Amino acid sequence: MPYSLDRVAQKQIVAEYFAATKHLLDKELALESIYFQSSIKDKVAASIDLRADLANLTSRQQELAPLAESILQEQISNTLAELGLTTLGQPLPSVLYHSTPLPFALIVSPENGLNR
């Protein structure tokens, strides 16, 4: 798909993907702040609009992700070729780019791996 789009369209798609990601992170932070405020008694009611925005942004981000990732892969491959860091014009191994959501928890186990 990236081959059928001109550079302007590619740039717009990647920019929209990153903008959606930024807005999604901002909305998640706003949602967290609602749950941290003890003055808000009905947190579900207070966050209903925010949750709707989050659902829409998540959907849009998921729509854009495969296309943005393939565009970024192609751009990185082209840059590597321009720098002469390829074999026969192709990077080896091929460039793979995939975005994943950040984890919500960090789990730490004891150094020796055994629970005591």
- Per-residue pLDDT tens for 74-89? 888 888 988 888 888 7
pLDDT mean over 61-76: 92
Count of domains observed in the chain: 1
pLDDT of residue 48: 96
pLDDT mean over 19-26: 94
pLDDT of residue 85: 86
Domain housing 101: 1-116
Cα angle 85, 92, 13 (rounded to 5 degrees) comes to 80
Residue 68, burial from CB neighbour count under 10 angstroms (0-12, 13-18, 19+): buried
Residue 27 has pLDDT above 80, yes or no: yes
pLDDT of residue 107: 73
pLDDT of residue 9: 93
Cα angle 47, 49, 54 (rounded to 5 degrees) comes to 90
More confident residue, 75 or 48: 48
More confident residue, 5 or 110: 5
Stated as kind and residue range, the H or E segment containing 53 is helix 48-82
pLDDT of residue 2: 63
Residue 28 has pLDDT above 80, yes or no: yes
Give the global pTM. 0.74
Residue 103 carries which DSSP code? Answer: P
